[in-house]
Copies of this chain bind each other. A is one copy, B any other.
Amino acid sequence: MSTLAVVSGGMDSVTMLHVLHDQGEKKLGVVSFDYGQRHGRKELNCALQNCNDLNLEWTLIDMAFMKSLLIGSSLTDSRVDVPEGHYAAESMKATVVPNRNMIMLSIAAGVALANGYERIATAVHAGDHAIYPDCRPEFIEEMGNLLDTATDGFWEPFFGDGAHLYAPFVNKTKADIVRIGDGVGVDWTKTWSCYVGEESHCGKCGTCVERKEAFRLAGVVDPTPYKDEAFEVAAYRG
């Protein structure tokens, strides 16, 4: 298959990219989205570094308009404090850009069509399900079918027929992904999680806590230099 991978520069999508590369795709490319994340270019630079390492074409889509789609979100609005604690906690709902995944996948499909890829790949995983309805397995299946309908006839010469949306981690946990990434030689220092966006990972925000936990559960050494190494949410202490 020829596959266009949606890669943020986080652990999940970078792992997926290396898995796809190992599978020997006929053609492999990357699309990333700049939606004014407050962690700025940190995450996107990781996406670019991995593309360079694997010698892949990188398309960056400017989603400046996403700023206008926020409901008190702390993900792109610097006036709102980033919640500390576990990513899946209720407070993390504040970091949601409405319909973000569906928007990015729709645009990725456009990029794929314009550049002759047969499918798009997304690294949504089981940990996303609770708070992001557009990351759940039923969404992935329906979205795949919709892309088939949306491209029927006209786009077939470009997009092929059948499964246009590949989500290999949709039922994997973050710890599963760390184990998989470890197996395909992901350089974790070229992945970024922290929502705060300072020089190093803060170690205290939701995604940092989730990152630490994933390494611990996977039994893989975490090479990330955190500003606060010791911080863990009480409920998740081993």
Contacts and interface: CB of A to CB of B under 8 A. Distances in A.
Interface of A: 59, 61-66, 68-71, 93, 96-103, 105-107, 109-111, 113-114, 131-134, 136, 138-139, 142-143, 145-147, 149-155, 158
Contact of A154 (B65, B70, B96, B110): B96
A131 B150 CA distance: 11
A142 B145 CA distance: 8
B69 A110 contact: yes
13 contacts: A61-B65, A71-B113, A98-B109, A98-B110, A103-B107, A103-B110, A132-B154, A133-B149, A133-B152, A133-B154, A134-B149, A136-B152, A139-B149
A153 B133 contact: yes
A154 B142 contact: no
Query: In this complex, which of A97, A102, A133 has the most chain B Cβ atoms within 10 angstroms of its Cβ?
Result: A102
B62 A65 contact: yes
Contacts of A136: 149, 152
A114 to B, nearest CB: 5
The complex is assembled from copies of this chain, and their number is: 2
Given A99-B113, A133-B150, A133-B154, 4 more contacts: A69-B113, A103-B107, A133-B151, A138-B149
A146 B143 contact: yes
A99 B103 CA distance: 11
A134 B155 CA distance: 10
Given A59-B68, A142-B149, A150-B133, A99 B93 contact: no
Given A114-B71, A133-B153, A134-B150, A62 B64 contact: yes
Contacts of A102: 106, 109, 146-147, 150
B65 A107 contact: yes
A155 B143 contact: no
A24 to B, nearest CB: 26
Nearest to A96: B154
Contacts of A147: 99, 102
A70 B115 CA distance: 9
